[in-house]
Structure 1
Amino acid sequence: MSRHTTALRAATAVLVALGALTACDPAEPEPAKTAQAPAAAPSSEAPAQNAASAPASPTAKAGGTVGGIPASAWMAGADIPLDSAYHWPAQAGKAKPVKNGEPFAFETLCDSARSSDLAGLGTGADGAQSLLSGGTDEWQAQQTIVHFKGTSSGAVQSAGALLRALTDEVKACAPDGATPSVKVTAEDPAYLAATITLKQGSGGITVHEYLTTTSTTVAELTVYGPYGTKKPKAAWTVKDDTAVLRLLGAPLCDAFKNC
């Protein structure tokens, strides 16, 4: 087993373990009424019970604020890709506080790190992270929100700098030992969507990455498949990544009034 295989499996295991414990409007074309358009649920069949619908951690605050992030800021479970298969619960009930500078999901999977000149961005920033698991060998969904307090130009610039840095990292994703493929599916100064495929031997992992900013807030949604040769029961059905970006950004506008 190569070093990268071990590292990639370990990274995935860390993200799943966290789950167990646990822009404003991009392009405006009308999303097709497919399995994962904004107003339509994915078409995948779903069992009645799964790991994603497990009760929230006793420390979670489903209706309150975690890490300075209000419950209303999270993307609704029904809006997360593949909800018809996994019935994602409310993310606020799974949220854990994080500090800006802690890895976003794709940074762990890509073995990447932000530039040291972004180290000071944590001052005055709130942050939280929620991981939802579809179960063993199934899709996982993680959202991270970092909010820079206030309405000053400095807060706006900090959010913009963070998004640009994360965008560059996504495009450069190339963990040691894997054959990477990064396909950008939607891009604008305020958002990015990309599909990252990391292959190694007969196995690998697929990562669907969404990043958006609404003035002083940055949010990431990462939906990634299991490592190895096993296929999850739900096939990827999203046809319009800008629809996912809109659903990711809209709650931020409402929660922070910064759009």
Structure 2
Amino acid sequence: MPSARNGHLINRQLTVTTAVALLCVGALSACGPNDDKGGQDAGKTAAPTATGTAAPATTGAAPTATGTGGTGGAPKGSIPAAAWMSARSIPMDETYHWAELARVAKPVTGDAATFKGMELCHTPVAKDDAWLFTGKAAARAALNEGGAEHWTAQQTLVYHGDPRPSSGAKQATNLAYAHLVEAVKNCGQSLPGATVKVASADDAPYFAATVTAPGPDGTTVTLHEYAVAAGGSVSELAVFARAKAGAQPKDAWKAPEDRYVGTGMTAPLCEALPGC
């Protein structure tokens, strides 16, 4: 008969094995994307000259749902300023010279944070899944240079907690990420007339896709969607523009390779949050 100590060790091993399996399924373990597929698309450029962000005041400190901390001049909020990606890593920065997202970030109020990809594709958050998009903290930052026919950059972060003590935070992160990715992939089914081109490989540690969708006012919306999950957080970067049906946005699309955008999103999360 196994001792109580052996039983405890077996249970602990099973928990670790389960967490590792979930990590592999969600493709969350890598902090440096290495998929080259995104580099084949038109409009891609070399790596941005600066992809880092300022270090947080306390490296690895976890945010809280009602926290008031902030660094680097960011507004008070529950997500550390260092968790936001650098403006230099955002597509179209060469044209717009984006301001830093951390400076305009605001906590998300309400029951759940809606990712742009899910919103555009008419995929509402189910009542039973609302907790996946609330987390312990959620925030959004948006930059718009000149209105609808110009590109808007928006990053949304949902933090579920430090994934190291238990598998709960990691499971929630995996599920929220999976919901977002599937919503974008299936946009053509949920929104008639929408087309989706997935640029990232299935095993890439980031998701990248381009969605073209009809707007309710007869316009066409073009969305470049990026998503990663790391450090107990799901991060979405949506860069989108609205133009007359059949027309293109006023400014031609320019972006780093998708893998560099993915790294630009993941690296700050790993730097600012624990358990990456």
**TM score, norm. by length of structure 1:** 0.73
**Which of 218, 221, 236 is 2:253 aligned to?**
236
- Alignment CA distance shift 1:258-1:28 (3 Å): farther
Letter in 2 for 1:172: N
| Displacement after TM superposition at 1:37 (Å) | 2.6
**Counterpart position of 1:125:** 136
Q: Deviations over 1:58-104 (max 9, x none)?
A: xx986246441111111111111011111100111111101572211
The answer on whether the counterparts of 2:231 and 2:274 sit within 8 Å (CA) in structure 1 is no
State percent identity of aligned pairs: 36
**Counterpart position of 1:170:** 184
- Specify the SS of the correspondent of 2:239: strand
**Counterpart position of 1:147:** 159
Letter in 2 for 1:226: R
**Counterpart position of 2:145:** 134
**TM score, norm. by length of structure 2:** 0.69
- Aligned-residue CA RMSD in angstroms? 3.0
The answer on whether the counterparts of 1:127 and 1:146 sit within 8 Å (CA) in structure 2 is yes
**Counterpart position of 2:98:** 88
Larger radius of gyration: 2
Q: How does 1:146-225 map to 2 (within 5 A)?
A: 146-150=158-162, 151=164, 152-174=166-188, 178-186=192-200, 187-188=202-203, 190-199=205-214, 203-225=219-241
**Which of 15, 24, 32 is 2:31 aligned to?**
24
**Counterpart position of 1:38:** 47
**Which segments of 5 or more consecutive residues in structure 1 lack a partner in the other structure?**
1-22, 42-59
The answer on whether the counterparts of 1:78 and 1:88 sit within 8 Å (CA) in structure 2 is yes
The answer on whether the counterparts of 1:180 and 1:199 sit within 8 Å (CA) in structure 2 is yes
Letter in 1 for 2:47: P
**Which of 84, 87, 108 is 1:98 aligned to?**
108
- Alignment CA distance shift 1:116-1:177 (3 Å): closer
| Displacement after TM superposition at 1:238 (Å) | 2.8
Question: 1: CA distance between counterparts of 2:120 and 2:37?
Answer: 32
**Which of 235, 246, 256 is 2:263 aligned to?**
246
